[in-house]
Every structure is written in structure tokens, then in C-alpha cells.
Amino acid sequence: MNEELRKKIGLNIQKGRKERNLTQAEIAEKVDSDTNYYAKIERGEVVPSLTLLIKIADTLEIEYADLFSKRSSK
């Protein structure tokens, strides 16, 4: 996965988390992930497994396709 896509996914996840007023630690716990690893996902530094991406999207109630698209700011 290229860097641009990793960063786009991370920003979309971060936006969804912030819209729900949740911390990285809260989401990491809900998806059974390490907080530091989850933070790296949001920064686009790592490529999470598809299973983990699905867990994150489901937890944040984000459509899977929206993880990969440019989301407009509200």
C-alpha cells in the first residue's frame, strides 16, 4: 500500500474517531489493538490487516469505502 493511501485511510479513521469524541485508547481497546499501533494507523505509518480495518470501521460506524475516499470536512 502506498504512503498516500495509508495517510488517507489514517486521516479518515481519525476524523471518524474525533466526530464521536473518542480517544485513540478507547478505540484501540474496542478493536483489541495496542494504543501505540492504533496511533500509527491514524498517522499512516503502518498497514493494518483487513480484519482490523473492518473492526475500526464498524466501531466508528464508517462505511468501508469511506476509509479509502476523500471525506469532506463538516
- Tell me the residue range of the domain where 47 lies: 3-67
73 has pLDDT over 50? no
What pTM value is reported for the model?
0.89
Average pLDDT over residues 50-69: 94
For residue 7, being part of any structural domain is answered with: yes
Say which residues have a Cβ less than 8 Å from residue 63's Cβ, sequence separation at least 6: 57
CATH number of the domain to which 54 belongs:
1.10.260.40
| Number of compact structural domains in the chain | 1
Burial zone of 54 (CB within 10 Å; 0-12 exposed, 13-18 middle, 19+ buried): middle
Average pLDDT over residues 26-47: 97
Helices marked H in the chain: 3-19, 24-30, 35-42, 50-60
Residue type, 44: G
> What does the pLDDT look like over 3-13, one tens digit per residue?
899 999 999 99
